[in-house]
Structure 1
Amino acid sequence: MFLRPLFAVIALATPAPLLAQVLTATETARIDKVVSAALADTGVPSASIAVVRGGRVVLARAYGKQAEGRTVADPHQPYQIASISKQFTAAALLLLEDDGKLRLDDPIGHYVPGITDGDRITIRQLLSHTAGLQDYWPQDYSFRAMASPVTPQQILDRWARKPLDFAPGTQWQYSNTGYVVAGLIVEKVAGMPLLEFLQARVFRPLGIRAVDQDKAVGAGFPQGYKRFALGPVRVETPAASGWLYAAGELSMSAEDLARWDIARLNRTLLPADDWVAQETPVTLTDGRSTSYGLGVIARDRGGRRVIEHGGEAVGFLSQNIVYPDDKAAVVVLTNAWFADAQSRIAAGIADIVLPPPPASADATEDAAALTRARIVFDQLRANRLDRTLLTDNANYYFTPVALADYARSLGSLGEPGAFVAEGGGRLRGGFVGRAYRVTIGGRTLSLSTFAEPDGRHRFEQFLVSPAQ
């Protein structure tokens, strides 16, 4: 069944005419189609999205069924954002460092006693998942203990007193346990609950309505859903209170999360160096990058710089992606923890709202090389080889017998159905090597080429062979 948005709200602090310049009706319709198709295909009941473009929210919209018996999808409803909350915990500690109350390189044992090797683990390592503390919730389901309430101290007593999985700083391993410790440090230093601190220093200044996810349950809130394999979609039972805490305790609307993304884009609320610190990937002791900063993933994707994080709560999946150089962000919140609707939707929206990335010099040359390879391939099929396109060695290889065999075996197969590169160019022996896969006449062929790198681009090697 094709799901249509039951309710839509465009949230803008700018006049309506500007909206048409920022997000066209065609783009909005395409977004509707992407979301609706993902929900229909995966069975995920609902999604709430927000789109930032040009540093402002240009669309906030909800789709589908947010809870049993609810017939209108409300974009203002707070979904559980789970581990996206980690960047807020990290921001709290950065603010406390700005206040002169701690340093991120302080040992955590100074603030929270009783943790294994607490004198060797730093706050920064907690926030970057390099502390070595064992993760208390690696499962993608609620394990037995989650049916009963828990306190942060009980989590630490059970998991943070175990031997470390590795020496601090030597490896990267996602650890919710580390963020529970981080939350307790915030509370001890700030002298108030973590959420209260965030309300005062982050959420109220940005106009964000954030709710403790343990309290965002029941009437008036989105319901989480589950599915066993390809069985029916069922209402999920929430975990007992306390299990997500500083590792993922927040619920908010997609639009409210987008307000935080805008602060990131504009370098407001936090000092600029705090934003940089959060977005700088931490390096391990052997020099390897983790691609993870302080509560966020920081990397390049498709030629773009991306700051992102996903979230998984009991019955909820979410994705928050910021594109700093494009002044854009995409927020997708869903009320199911099966399938990949949130990722599909986020990728689909990004394809619509972002300008195509500028082609890199390497990408441009790869495309030109593919064109040159296709020209020679077609010449060989037709036995009309332009030998000026080959080096002396390649011309030596293509004897009359070789040319006849190429033409006879390839020409009878008809036109190629696909001619695609397998990866980019790589240097070898003074040439640039590239590989291609060709589908032709019901066969799949492999093409291996070496070409000159000096601008002449003559082929030193052009070998066709069967492929699986």
Structure 2
Amino acid sequence: MMRPAFALLALLTCTSPAYAQAISPAEQARIDKLVTETLDKTKTPSASVAIVRGGQLVLAKAYGKAAETIPAATPALPYQIASNSKQFTAMALLLLEDEGKLYLDDKVSKYLPGISGGDRIALRQLLNHTSGLQDYWPQDYSFPAMARPTTPQQILDVWAKKPLDYAPGTKWQYSNTGYVVAGMIVEKVAGEPLFSFLQKRIFQPLGMTSVVDMDKAIGPNFPQGYGRAALGPVRVETPAAPGWLYAAGELSMTPTDLAKWDIARMNRAYIPADDWDEQERTVRLADGEDSNYGLGVRNTVRDGRRVISHSGESAGFLSLNSVYPESKSAIIVMTNTWSSGAYSQISRGLAEIILPPTSADPVPAAQAATVRTVYNQLRSGMLDRKLLTANANYYFTPTVAADVRSSLSPLGAPVSIEPDGSSTLRGGFVIQGYTVKYPNRTLDLSVFMEPGANGRVEQFLVRGE
């Protein structure tokens, strides 16, 4: 459904006077202090942010160093948004459904042969992560195969032909693999590359002129990704070889352009309103549990406010896009490191400035003794590699292990290691976050384990506060 340009412009710029408030000098000072102090504290090279309030873009500003060749970040630079791309892939299928070219309740086998469970997996289950297809990239680091270029078909040949992790619709488990399948279906039905379809149907009509395939957003004119092992030195990250993110997370863009999409969402503009509604409608599992996930977006309550959100991670980049529909506000934060929680800290801090929270988040208190052994081995430099999977051993190169040891050892023994929230399943691993507490500082720890009492460690990443 296409709308006249003047109607689209009106929908994108309509505001509610009660909410359309420019950023005040006092708010700007608080924002600058929040971002600069968070970047400094977490050793995050840069952040680019955009704020929408009352349906209008009221701030676009960048801070820090975007790359070795770009000492000062600017709002005009496209950052890799990774899994924030999923909402665009999902919307592509919704648009094709509007045209009667496919139906989200169709089975995958109708379009792609050879996919495990393809005769039982509905297209919508690819988009809401209930397909049962095993995730091909659950780790927060690059594994060996990612040094070589790949294709969507090669990804599917390895991961989408494995036995399903569970019967479709019975569990929710994040799966990039499902989105690769979805992207290939878009291309087959539309008769053109996914990126080309999105350009014609979404990016160009909305004036999103900065969008580029992240495989092409590499070089001296683009932001550069960085990483850090525990509290070691900040180092340039090697990007994944071309082809690894595709429909699961291939896009780069500015926060301003992502804000245009958010404003269209708030106003139910350009895209038919029922498609926006369908994308945000959360799926319930076979047992009735609400997954809090729709078609490429989360639909949850944060600090007492409904928020449509998603995060994104690629080699050296993290982002968070949060839309608050009731106040027609949005907060977009993009950072060029995947080794700190700066992106989420900045997003939450900005919400406190422009949308005072209505309630406090619960603070987990249980002590996490289950990961103390590996943590202490890492800080002492005496890592028992039999406790790690082959991928984790690949990640912990001598340089990485030395950075972890040299940065953690001076801190001494932690006071406690406490679980942060509940565990989830993804890519065949049990995933749990932890908070590592010292007398004068707190660190984050991300742990992936094989299931079972003797499961090995697949991921053990320490991030600065």
Query: TM-score category by the smaller chain?
Result: 0.7 to 0.9
Post-superposition offset of 1:303: 1.6
Alignment of 1:7-406 (within 5 A): 21-208=21-208, 209-357=210-358
CA contact (8 A) 2:70 2:221 kept: no
Runs (4+) of structure 1 moved beyond 4 Å? Answer: 18-21
- Normalization by structure 2: what TM-score? 0.72
Post-superposition offset of 1:23: 1.4
1:228-254 Cα offsets, whole Å, 9 max, x none, are: 111100011111000000000000001
1:98-126 Cα offsets, whole Å, 9 max, x none, are: 01100000001101110011010000000
Residue type of the partner of 2:155? I
Residue type of the partner of 1:335? N
1:239 and 1:73 map into 2 onto residues whose CA distance is 22
Residue type of the partner of 2:348? A
1:50 and 1:316 map into 2 onto residues whose CA distance is 17
1:111-151 Cα offsets, whole Å, 9 max, x none, are: 11100110100000000000000000011100000000000
1:20 and 1:13 map into 2 onto residues whose CA distance is 11
CA contact (8 A) 1:19 1:58 kept: no
SS of the equivalent of 1:206 reads coil
What residue in structure 1 maps to residue 380 of structure 2? none
CA contact (8 A) 2:20 2:54 kept: no
1:216 and 1:19 map into 2 onto residues whose CA distance is 36
Corresponding residue pairs, total:
345
Inter-CA distance 356–312: structure 2 relative to 1 (3 Å threshold): closer
Residue type of the partner of 2:285? L
Identity level (%) = 66
- Higher relative contact order (CA closer than 8 Å, sequence separation 6+): 2
SS of the equivalent of 1:60 reads strand
1:261-314 Cα offsets, whole Å, 9 max, x none, are: 001000012111111111111011111111100000101122211100000000
SS of the equivalent of 2:115 reads coil
SS of the equivalent of 1:22 reads coil
CA contact (8 A) 2:19 2:53 kept: no
Comparing 145-154 with 299-308, greater Cα deviation is found at 299-308
1:144 and 1:20 map into 2 onto residues whose CA distance is 49
Alignment of 1:404-415 (within 5 A): none
CA contact (8 A) 2:212 2:251 kept: yes
1:356 and 1:146 map into 2 onto residues whose CA distance is 41
CA contact (8 A) 2:306 2:326 kept: yes
CA contact (8 A) 1:317 1:333 kept: yes
Inter-CA distance 20–195: structure 2 relative to 1 (3 Å threshold): closer
1:25-51 Cα offsets, whole Å, 9 max, x none, are: 111111111111110000010000000
2:50 and 2:198 map into 1 onto residues whose CA distance is 22
SS of the equivalent of 1:246 reads helix
Comparing 215-224 with 22-31, greater Cα deviation is found at 22-31
- Normalization by structure 1: what TM-score? 0.72
CA contact (8 A) 2:317 2:337 kept: yes
Residue type of the partner of 1:240? A
CA contact (8 A) 2:108 2:119 kept: yes
Alignment of 1:454-465 (within 5 A): none
CA contact (8 A) 1:142 1:314 kept: yes
What residue in structure 1 maps to residue 455 of structure 2? none
SS of the equivalent of 1:28 reads helix
2:333 and 2:49 map into 1 onto residues whose CA distance is 5
